[in-house]
Amino acid sequence: MSISHPTACILCPQNCGIQIQVGDSGQFEKIVGDDAHPISEGYLCQKAARLNYYQDQARLTAPLRKKADGTFEEVSWEIAIQEIADKLVSIRDTHGGETIAYAGGGGQGNHLGGIYATALRAACESPYFYSALAQEKTGNFWVNGKLFGRQNTNYSEAVAEAEYVFIIGTNPLQSHGIPRARKVMRELARDPERTLVVVDPRRTETAKLADVFMQVKLGKDAFLLAALLAVIMQEGLEDESFLAEKTVGFEEVKGHFMDISVEDYADICGINADMIREVARGMAHAKTMAIRSDLGIEQSQNSTLNAYLVRLLFLVTGNFGKEGTNCLHTAFLPLIGHSKAPEEGGITTQVTGMQAIAKLFPPNILPLEIDSDHPKRTRGLIVESANPLSSYADVQAQLKAYAKLDLMVVIDVAMTETAQAAHYILPASTQFEKTEATFFNLEFPKNFFHLRKPILPPLENTLPEPEMHHRLLTAMGELPSSFPVLAGLAKLDRLAPMLRIFPLALAATFALRPKWKKYAVIVMKETLGRALPKGTQAAAVLWVAAHRYAKKYPAEVRRTGLAGKGYALGEALFKKVLTSRSGTLISIHQFEDHWNLIRHKDRKVHLSIPLLLDWLDELPGQVAEEAQQKKEYPFYLIAGERRSYNANTILRNPEWRKTDKEGALKIHPEDAAKLQIATGDLVTCTSEVGSIQITAKVTDELPVGILSMPNGYGLSYPGEKSPQRLGALTNWLTSTGNCDPLAKTPFHKQVAVKLEK
């Protein structure tokens, strides 16, 4: 008999609630939307139905160790863990923890492993955490730090409610990015009282719904955004009372926009000046406006400046912290932190001197940190739940660098491109075989959290990541394998939580063993975690999260229907998170409290960022520079388009795709005619660093001179005779140097290439 289990889709950051009907032999029989999920409310896209290709994929079934001839041999967990631990200790004690780096920490559905990995990083004394977020969002985080006071302030966007919606560099009809995206976007498009503006160089599915489609020239968004702001300020359309009450520094900002020629900037970004004026006025006069942006302006020219200009647009028009606008939100467990600038003592990397932003380091510098003669070059690399050799820039540079590592460990569920390069591979249980959660709960005024329970037993010989991290710490001599006394007290504590036996015992333990404090997550998992319902051990960290959150936002937590004060409220929230199978609301905020989320002491937005205002002033110079660049690579490739059948590199079996099996390269009919290319032809696409073969598709959805291909294709998967590989890997073409000067986020949407039939 099959049973239906509530869980979540793990294919994009929306993590829609789903119900999976599991058959007797563990097969996924049916997947439907879960109406009880507090945010997705039963919504799904077509990808969720294909999750069986994740659960039933060719798995890693044993720890693997690389032999001298480059092939792998199976070893026991004991051997793998002890050898990895010994090597980590040896690198740390010989060269220093700064020569060890960690990359990954979770994908679209799994962030609990990354939390437990903080203990492993502490044991390695490694300050370097490379994250996929630092190849898209760190420019945003840096700007948020300046405007709102901390880099870990982040905002939501009320696309579902706003009267005027400005979508730039994102295609929610395919990539989602907001809850129930297709439904919300179609309702918005149908409503005659509301306006949808879409900015994209490509006529996307979302652009087709727009009231105003601004087909911007690739990478020229900064000119468009600056022109919109110039119209608003030159026509005096800014929200004066909002600016006076809630912000400082407007006069200084304004000075940089008053002399901008809207006509000139309109020419450069390829959009009619009248259209720019109409949209600027529309934004300023709308009762409520929300802006949603994503990779299209993050992974292209001027990305950190773009982040600033987008925020100025909603701030200058007063569309912030109110219903139907952009609002800061709280975090149950934060995805990111706040990093000090280097001049304030913030840490930097050894070889390239890169600063941390939001506690993260950018993948684009990783090959340079390894492939160097510097005495403190990176020598040990742990990759967990990420696939850099397909998702980070410049595969060749990475391959060359990884070959120089003294130790490379990959933790994954499948034999990935990156795992192939490792010395050791550790097989993880899938996200349906363990307790998991993401920290992508980024909503305001209602915020939620979804703890997912395992719905299948773990595949034999695989382990959840928290268990691997504990075993590594034990083998490194940092922690015992169990904590019987504290675990016993944790069991008692669960019988009568209000006696606070566990927190007192935990504090006493750390007083006695101060060294264990930095491994607190593991200690909790092995004590409190063991007292939780079977299979939910890794939820132990949520106990801390629940208490912290309830202490910080008591009124907001109580509005969800929970009773109690202080510690009791924390316990109630923990219990609710632990027992709600479809996810639960954790807070309901009031708009007047929004301003407490600003982290500047004066609770105001600090509008002026001199470095970015200088960058803005220098924009026109870019045009002259580009004109001089040689035309060896006449096309710009958008290297990584979200389509119906891609989901980063989570699904490896190409059979999961119902359409677009080879991930076609889109090309404009004029360009195709010139090169005598027809749909279905195999073409060679070459950049400065590499070359791929890919199937062409002729379409006028792109402008002349621009090509587009999907991300997440070209992964190797075991076939009947040999590994099959359908489609091409974008990152053979991308280089590490083509990136934002400040955040080092790659310009994947703007790769110069040439094309041959």
Ligand X SMILES: Nc1nc2c(c(=O)[nH]1)N[C@H]1C(S)=C(S)[C@@H](COP(=O)(O)OP(=O)(O)OC[C@H]3O[C@@H](n4cnc5c(=O)[nH]c(N)nc54)[C@H](O)[C@@H]3O)O[C@H]1N2
Closer to ligand X by Cβ: residue 386 or 698: 386
Token match 């092939």: residue? 71
Please select the residue that binds ligand SF4; options are 92, 150, 176, 589, rule is CB under 6 A: 176
Shortest separation between residue 674's beta carbon and ligand X, angstroms: 22
- Which residue stretches of 392-526 are H helix? 395-402, 417-420, 465-475, 484-495, 501-512, 520-526
- Tell me: does residue 184 bind ligand SF4 (CB under 6 A): no
**Of the ranges 10-18, 325-333, 579-587, 593-601, which one interacts with ligand SF4 (CB under 6 A)?**
10-18
Shortest separation between residue 281's beta carbon and ligand X, angstroms: 21
Shortest separation between residue 448's beta carbon and ligand X, angstroms: 19
Please select the residue that binds ligand SF4; options are 5, 16, 97, 385, rule is CB under 6 A: 16
Sign of torsion over alpha carbons 397, 399, 403, 408: positive
Shortest separation between residue 452's beta carbon and ligand SF4, angstroms: 12
The listed partner (ligand SF4, ligand X, none) that binds 198, CB under 5 to 8 Å by sort, is none
Shortest separation between residue 592's beta carbon and ligand X, angstroms: 32
- Tell me: does residue 20 bind ligand SF4 (CB under 6 A): no
Closer to ligand X by Cβ: residue 175 or 584: 175
Q: Provide the strand spans (E) within 483-600.
A: 584-588
Shortest separation between residue 649's beta carbon and ligand SF4, angstroms: 14
CA distance 597 to 191: 32
Shortest separation between residue 30's beta carbon and ligand X, angstroms: 22
- Tell me: does residue 522 bind ligand SF4 (CB under 6 A): no
The listed partner (ligand SF4, ligand X, none) that binds 170, CB under 5 to 8 Å by sort, is ligand X
**Of the ranges 6-14, 80-88, 92-100, 433-441, which one interacts with ligand SF4 (CB under 6 A)?**
6-14
- Tell me: does residue 390 bind ligand SF4 (CB under 6 A): no
CA distance 363 to 120: 20
Peptide bond into 445 cis (omega under 30): yes
Shortest separation between residue 451's beta carbon and ligand X, angstroms: 15
CA distance 537 to 267: 59
**Of the ranges 9-17, 280-288, 436-444, 515-523, which one interacts with ligand SF4 (CB under 6 A)?**
9-17
- Tell me: does residue 15 bind ligand SF4 (CB under 6 A): yes
Closer to ligand SF4 by Cβ: residue 50 or 470: 50
CA distances from 706 to 209, 299, 442, 477, 635 (A): 22, 15, 34, 55, 6
CA distance 705 to 189: 30
Token match 């990015």: residue? 177
Shortest separation between residue 695's beta carbon and ligand SF4, angstroms: 24
The conformational region for residue 82 under phi > 0 = left, psi -120 to 50 = alpha, else beta, is alpha
Closer to ligand X by Cβ: residue 318 or 727: 727
For the chain, the first-to-last Cα distance in angstroms comes to: 54
**In sequence order, what are the beta bridge partners of 348?**
355
Task: Note whether 130 and 117 are within 8 A (CB).
Answer: no
- Tell me: does residue 174 bind ligand SF4 (CB under 6 A): no
Dihedrals phi, psi of 198, to nearest 5 degrees = -125, 130
Structural tokens at position 684:
């060679």
Closer to ligand SF4 by Cβ: residue 44 or 667: 44
Shortest separation between residue 527's beta carbon and ligand SF4, angstroms: 33
Closer to ligand SF4 by Cβ: residue 16 or 577: 16
Shortest separation between residue 538's beta carbon and ligand SF4, angstroms: 21
Dihedrals phi, psi of 235, to nearest 5 degrees = -90, 5
- Tell me: does residue 525 bind ligand SF4 (CB under 6 A): no
- CA-wise closest residue to 639 among 738, 740, 751, 714: 751
The listed partner (ligand SF4, ligand X, none) that binds 736, CB under 5 to 8 Å by sort, is none
CA distance 641 to 706: 13
Dihedrals phi, psi of 401, to nearest 5 degrees = -70, -50
CA distance 423 to 229: 52
Shortest separation between residue 175's beta carbon and ligand X, angstroms: 3
- CA-wise closest residue to 378 among 91, 133, 24, 692: 91
The listed partner (ligand X, ligand SF4, none) that binds 188, CB under 5 to 8 Å by sort, is none
Shortest separation between residue 204's beta carbon and ligand SF4, angstroms: 16
Task: Note whether 226 and 257 are within 8 A (CB).
Answer: yes
Please select the residue that binds ligand SF4; options are 20, 22, 39, 45, rule is CB under 6 A: 45
- Tell me: does residue 44 bind ligand SF4 (CB under 6 A): yes
Shortest separation between residue 166's beta carbon and ligand SF4, angstroms: 22
The listed partner (ligand SF4, ligand X, none) that binds 204, CB under 5 to 8 Å by sort, is ligand X
Closer to ligand SF4 by Cβ: residue 183 or 674: 183
Angle at 586 between CA 583 and CA 589, to 5 degrees: 135
Q: CB neighbours of 733 closer than 8 A, spacing ≥ 6?
A: 637, 639, 685, 686, 687, 689, 690, 691, 692, 751, 753
The listed partner (ligand SF4, ligand X, none) that binds 31, CB under 5 to 8 Å by sort, is none
Instruction: Map 56-100 to HEC letters.
Output: CCCCCCCCEEECCCCCEEECCHHHHHHHHHHHHHHHHHHHCHHHE
- Tell me: does residue 14 bind ligand SF4 (CB under 6 A): yes
CA distance 528 to 479: 16
**In sequence order, what are the beta bridge partners of 320?**
326
The listed partner (ligand SF4, ligand X, none) that binds 16, CB under 5 to 8 Å by sort, is ligand SF4
Q: Name the residues that contact ligand X, by CB under 6 A.
A: 12, 107-108, 110, 132, 135-136, 168-171, 174-177, 199-202, 204, 216, 218-219, 221, 294-297, 300, 384-387, 391, 411-414, 416, 428, 430-431, 465, 638-643, 646-650, 711-712, 730-731, 734, 748-749
The listed partner (ligand X, ligand SF4, none) that binds 15, CB under 5 to 8 Å by sort, is ligand SF4
- Tell me: does residue 31 bind ligand SF4 (CB under 6 A): no
Closer to ligand SF4 by Cβ: residue 178 or 557: 178
Task: Note whether 384 and 112 are within 8 A (CB).
Answer: no
The listed partner (ligand SF4, ligand X, none) that binds 411, CB under 5 to 8 Å by sort, is ligand X
Dihedrals phi, psi of 477, to nearest 5 degrees = 80, 20
Closer to ligand SF4 by Cβ: residue 47 or 471: 47
Radius of gyration of the chain (CA): 26
Count of residues of this chain found to bind ligand SF4 when the rule CB under 6 A is applied: 11
Shortest separation between residue 45's beta carbon and ligand SF4, angstroms: 3
CA distance 529 to 536: 7
- Tell me: does residue 698 bind ligand SF4 (CB under 6 A): no
In the complex, which residues of this chain contact ligand SF4 (CB under 6 A)? 9, 11-12, 14-16, 44-45, 47-48, 176
